[in-house]
Structures are given as C-alpha cells and as structure tokens.
Amino acid sequence: ADDNQTAVTIHVVQGERKQAAQNKSLGRFDLTDIPPAPRGMPQVEVAFDLDANGILNVSAKDKATNKEQSIVIKASSGLSDEEIDQMVKDAETHSADDKKFEELINVRNTADGLIHATKKTLEEAGDKASDEEKDTINNAIADLEEALKGDDKAGIETKTKDLTDASASLAQKLYAEQQAQAGAAEADTNSGDQGAGDEAVDAEFEEVKEENK
C-alpha cells in the first residue's frame, strides 16, 4: 500500500497454499476511485457469498464512499474433486515451506511499515532532527531497503532492528518535547482557572425592612 493510493486489485484464488501463485486463479477485479489518503487509512471491506448453486459472488466496498465493485464466479470455474484432493496433498507436503514463506512475508511487512513510519517521522521532525540523526537514520533505511530486495529473513530482521535503534533517540526526543508542551498547556489552563476563581464578583442587593404591626 502507498500514500494516496486510489485503487486496489482483488485477486480471488482457490487452494490451500500460502502463495496466491500456487493456487488456482478464479478471477480478479479492481476497486477504483478510492479517495486519496495516507497509507493505512482507507478501509476496504471484501465479502464472499456462495449460493446453493455453487456460484460465488465476491464484492469489495470502500467504507468511506460506499463505492462497490464485484465479480461473479460460476461453479464450473472451480476445481474438480480430484484437483482439490491433489492440492490438499501438495499443501501438506509443502507445509514447512509455506510456513517459512508466511514468516518471511510477516517480516517483510514489518520492515516495510517501519520504513514508511520512519520516513514520515523524519519529514514531520524537520529541523528538530540534527544532521547526524538524519544521516544515521537515512543510512539505516537504505540498508533495510537493500535487504528487502532479497529473501534473507534473518538479514531483514537484523536491518529492521538497526533502523529501530537508529531512530530511537529521535523518537524519544520528539516524545519528550510533546510531553513538555502538553505539560505547559495544562499549567496555563490551571493558572487561568485559579485566576478566575480569585476574581471578586459584584452583587446587587436590596434591604427589606419589616413594618411593625
């Protein structure tokens, strides 16, 4: 996912393997005209509806606009019983490989998310980050991006930790600054409330004298 991404592709597959390419492709469609937004903000709801005749309806809806797109997959598009049995056996045979693949994907997603978040932090920090901090962090980002070009899980994890360590001091500094600003704002509010409580309030009154009966 990227910032300001305005479309997403839904790829429907059938099978037991972790990688889409190792399953049977049933169809794909695009959900377009998604309002531009920062990465991670758009929410797309995907629904699967299989009727009694074996017809599968897959729909995707952007929750912000309710814009929807769908695809209908007929029963004949699926797998035969023999093909299903074979795919189950293949999944069992390659279960260890599929587990490694899943772990690698999770590590890659974590690294990619960290790169995105760190770049955004640097951009928002501006002059608050020293040149030394910027150089250290940018070098760590470049190293992690290079590691992501390969499939070395351990190497990606190492470079991910390096980037986390490299950006820790800046993150702590920005957090401390935010806390200090919040504390100052709270002190000003309390001071204003106390001052308001000390002000004298003029009141008008009228003396009522009782007449002797």
Q: Are residues 123 and 172 in the same domain?
A: yes
pLDDT-based confidence at 196, cuts 50/70/90?
low
pLDDT at 130: 92
Which pLDDT score is estimated for 52? 84
Residue 200, in any domain of the structure: no
46: containing domain = 8-93
Q: How much of the chain, in percent, has pLDDT values that exceed 90? A: 52
List, for residues 120-176, the tens digit of each pLDDT value: 999 989 889 999 999 999 999 999 999 999 999 999 999 999 999 999 989 888 888
Above 60 in pLDDT, residue 204? no
Lowest-confidence pick of 76-85, 92-101, 133-142: 76-85
| Residue 39: burial class (beta carbons within 10 Å; 0-12, 13-18, 19+) | middle
Mean pLDDT to the nearest integer, 44-48: 94
Establish if 190 belongs to a structural domain: no
Domain boundary among 93, 113, 131: 93
Lowest mean pLDDT among 23-37, 108-122, 176-190: 176-190
Domain count, the chain: 2
pLDDT, mean of residues 103-116: 96
| pLDDT at residue number 103 | 96
Higher pLDDT, 191 or 154: 154
Whether 47 is covered by a domain: the verdict is: yes
Percentage of the chain surpassing pLDDT 70?
Answer: 84
pLDDT band at 46 (very low <50, low <70, confident <90, very high): very high
**What CATH number is associated with residue 142?**
1.20.1270.10
Indicate if 82 and 122 belong to the same structural domain: no
- 3 is a domain residue: no
Dihedrals φ, ψ of 56, to 5°?
A: -100, 125
Which pLDDT does position 162 carry in this prediction?
98
Q: Is residue 63 domain-shared with residue 120, that is, in the same domain?
A: no
- H, E, C per residue of the chain: CCCCCCCEEEEEEECCCCCHHHCEEEEEEEECCCCCCCCCCCCEEEEEEECCCCCEEEEEEECCCCCEEEEEECHHHCCCHHHHHHHHHHHHHCHHHHHHHHHHHHHHHHHHHHHHHHHHHHHHHHHHCCHHHHHHHHHHHHHHHHHCCCCCHHHHHHHHHHHHHHHHHHHHHHHHHHHHHHHHHHHHHHHHHHHHHCCCCCCCCCCCCCCCC
Q: Do 175 and 100 share a structural domain?
A: yes
Same domain, 72 and 128: no
| Within a domain: 193 | no
pLDDT tier for residue 213 given thresholds of 50, 70 and 90: very low
188 burial via Cβ count (<10 Å: 0-12, 13-18, 19+): exposed
Q: Calculate the average pLDDT of the chain.
A: 86
Query: Does some domain include residue 14?
Result: yes
Is the pLDDT higher at 56 or at 2? 56
Q: What is the pLDDT of residue 78?
A: 67
